[in-house]
Amino acid sequence: MLKKIIYKGLGIAYLGVSLTACVTPSAVERTENRMVPASYNNSQDTTNTGTVGWKSYFADPYLAALIDTALQHNQELNITLQEIEISRNEVRVRKGEYLPSVGLRAGAGVDKVARYTNIGAMEATTEIKPEKEMPEPLQDFLIGAYATWEVDVWHKLRNSKKAAISRYLASVEGRNFMVTNLIAEIADSYYELLSLDCQLAIIKQNIELQDNALKIVKVQKEAARVTELAVRRFEAQLLHTQRLQYDIQQKITETENRINFLTGSYPQPVRRDVAAFEQLVPETINAGIPSQLLANRPDIKQAELELAAAKLDVKAAKAMFYPSVGITAGIGYQAFNPIFLLKPESLLYTLAGDLAAPLINRNAIKASYYSANAKQLQAVFNYERTILNAYIEVVNQVSKLDNLEKSYNLKSREVEALTQSVTISKDLFASARADYMEVLLTQREALESKFELIETRKEQMSALVNVYRALGGGWQ
């Protein structure tokens, strides 16, 4: 008998699938392109700086302490951790939908039926025992267990659970990518702070030199060797340099507070070695090969997992066109008097199966299916874009490091030449063989060139940070 019921159920299911599957709408499919160039610059060396831990890459103990503090107290990172927890709970929800739902039920009630109705008339003529009529009003007591289960024939629930797992793993990779960016932002701001300290020190040195030059010009003016115009020009240059001092001090304050914000701290001085900037030497970077980006970059792995989730969503949405098979069961005791509740005669049970398939109004299901497919195509394009962006970032930063090294070497020679020119111009001016304008112009050019040299070094350190981030370093 049971076999006949099963065969009939399978026959109905097959008929339902035949009616619905033949009209399942088609969708545009696109396979993602995972191909990347074989190398960055014709090198097949697989040594990759991106696999180095951040504590080894950033040797400055003050910088390491700032990064460590940020990884514990950065608010945005902590917000992302809660998003990961939300994704983990979504996995539990999907897993719960896949498993049977079991519950307990208990209840009590009272029912008074009108005598002149079919039920009332039957109760009036029904005896529980000889010469013992049905009680009126009729009480009702129930205790039992029930279960419902949607049989996942077409893997709709299973694919939804797998999609939730992929999104959870994608959120973890998103957190790793945020860690990479956070470390890079702190390191970049730290090196900017050191460069500002160095610029401030140069400004103070120039203020002292220009103040001495102003005093000398005033003495020469009293000796009628120069005019009041020369005195005013030297004085104006000194005031200009003093103004630059306060501009840099403001930038230092803002940069310190940017670091404080990233570390989750209120404004306070940032501990650092002020003299460390002059000893900074850019390290050699090993970019490895482009295919390593697929494993090292958290944003690429995140896009890949989101793509996998989107594909599973399409399968789950497609399964909505097929019939759903459900099973419900229950067992318990029911009686009108508590003393009869646990007697064998009060036992009740139920077992039922149902098959439901959308046949007429399927617009909502079609819309969900088309939306899932469109999101899948979005995920494909996003994955390809992420890979392309990662490759270009590495190429740009490696090229920038090379060009900045050449620029720094030339700028160093320029600073050396202008520094010597300042001394020469002062000597010539003192012997009346040079105009004061030449001295002023040479001093300004020397100051600007020193600033540019510091800025170039800062850009070198920034490029080192960015190439490390572009290679996927920092989250390990």
On the 0-12 / 13-18 / 19+ scale of CB atoms within 10 A, 209 is middle
Is 132 strand, coil or helix? strand
Query: In terms of residue numbers, what domain contains 255?
Result: 2-101+155-323+369-470
Is residue 109 one of the residues assigned to a domain?
no
Distance of CA 259 to the CA centre of its chain: 20
Q: Is residue 96 part of a domain?
A: yes
Q: Which two tokens stand for residue 358?
A: 């959308």
Evaluate whether residue 329 is within a structural domain.
no
Task: Report d(CA 196, CA 454) in Å as an integer.
Answer: 9
**Would you give the end-to-end CA distance of the chain in angstroms?**
61
Establish if 280 belongs to a structural domain: yes
Let me know if residue 56 belongs to a domain: yes
Each of the 476 residues of the chain gets a pLDDT tens digit; together they read 444 544 455 455 555 544 444 456 776 777 888 888 888 877 788 888 888 999 999 989 999 999 999 999 998 888 888 888 888 888 887 777 767 888 888 888 888 877 778 777 776 677 666 766 667 777 888 888 888 888 777 778 788 888 888 988 999 998 999 999 999 999 999 999 999 999 998 898 888 887 887 887 788 777 777 778 878 887 888 898 899 999 999 999 999 999 999 999 999 999 998 888 878 887 888 888 999 899 899 999 999 999 999 998 888 888 888 888 888 888 888 888 888 788 888 888 888 878 777 766 678 888 888 888 999 999 999 999 999 999 999 999 999 999 999 998 998 898 888 888 877 777 776 766 666 667 777 778 888 888 889 899 999 999 999 999 999 988 87
> Tell me, what's the pLDDT at 443?
78
pLDDT at residue 6, rounded to an integer = 44
Q: How far apart are CA 216 and CA 429, in angstroms?
A: 11
Q: How many domains does the chain have?
A: 1
Summarised one tens digit per residue, pLDDT across range 108-156 is 888 887 777 877 777 667 766 676 666 777 788 888 888 888 877 777 8
What is the model's pLDDT at position 433? Answer: 67
* CATH number of the domain enclosing 416: 1.20.1600.10
The reported pLDDT for the residue numbered 429 is: 67
pLDDT at 90: 81
Cα–Cα separations (whole angstroms), residue 132 to 124, 127, 289, 335: 11, 5, 92, 16
454 within some domain: yes
DSSP string, 359-371: -S--HHHHHHHHH
Q: Is residue 341 part of a domain?
A: no
Q: Which residue has the tokens 């090294």?
A: 405
> Do residues 36 and 291 touch, judged by C-beta distance below 8 A?
yes
Indicate the residue type of 192: E
Cβ atoms of 224 and 172 closer than 8 Å = no
- Do the domain assignments include residue 395? yes
Cα(283)–Cα(159) distance, integer angstroms: 47
Angle at 181 between CA 180 and CA 187, to 5 degrees: 95
C-alpha 60/C-alpha 149 separation (Å) is: 59
